[in-house]
Amino acid sequence: MRFDKILGLTMAAICSGAIGQAQAESLVVDNGEITAVVGVEIQGGLYDLRFVDSSFNGGYPADFAGYGVLACDAVKAIVAASDSGTLQARRDLRPRGCASSDACTILIPNHATGSAPSAAMSYACELIHVGGQFRSGDPQWPFDPSTDTGYMPDMTYAILTPAR
């Protein structure tokens, strides 16, 4: 193999490693709150998970009925990153929308009966945040889609989007 070809392959490997590390899971913190987890690899793609207080029917776009399997896969990916130490937060940080100092439940909708803005029932995969760590909760938790988590100090929703 020629030297210039070896050098080119080496540079490509270094660059792809740097790109992968730049997109690794990380927490976004604003005003003492965790507002998002960005760069989460789920089903082979990179996603951002943003925390918002809302209701299912009011916080998600019209015709949204859930993320399907992606919701519970997001929980698994974030828990794995938390367990490995990739996602570390100070114990005093909580996800946006969570005022409880004990624990917070983050709802990631996987399916609903109907769709926003008029779903009759929603089901979510729960991501639990406690003591600076993320843990999994119920994978099929039923929740009234008209209930606004802004009135619940220990609960918030998550919105998944492809990473930018």
Summarised one tens digit per residue, pLDDT across range 117-139 is 999 999 999 999 998 889 999 88
**What's the start-to-end Cα distance of the chain, in Å?**
37
pLDDT at 90: 73
Report the b/e string of 88-125 with b at 16+ CB within 10 A.
ebeeeebbbbbeeeeebbbbbbbbbeebbbebeebbbb
Domain extent, residue 149, equals: 24-162
Q: How many domains does the chain have?
A: 1
- The residue with tokens 């009234």 is 144
pLDDT at 24: 66
Please indicate, yes or no, if residue 13 is contained in any of the structural domains: no
Question: Three-state DSSP class for 143?
Answer: strand
pLDDT at 91: 76
87-112 tens-digit pLDDT: 776 777 889 999 887 899 999 999 99
Q: Residue 161 class from Cβ within 10 Å (0-12 exposed, 13-18 middle, 19+ buried)?
A: exposed
DSSP 76-136: HHHHHHHHHTSS---TT-EETT---SS-EEEEEEEEEES-TTS-SEEEEEEEEEETTEEEE
pLDDT at 157: 96
Q: Is the pLDDT of residue 12 over 70?
A: no
Report, as an integer, the average pLDDT of 132-152: 92
Please indicate, yes or no, if residue 17 is contained in any of the structural domains: no
CA gap 66, 42 in Å, rounded: 16
Please indicate, yes or no, if residue 117 is contained in any of the structural domains: yes
Please indicate, yes or no, if residue 6 is contained in any of the structural domains: no
Please indicate, yes or no, if residue 142 is contained in any of the structural domains: yes
Report, as an integer, the average pLDDT of 50-71: 96
> Is there a contact between 49 and 159 (Cβ–Cβ < 8 Å)?
yes
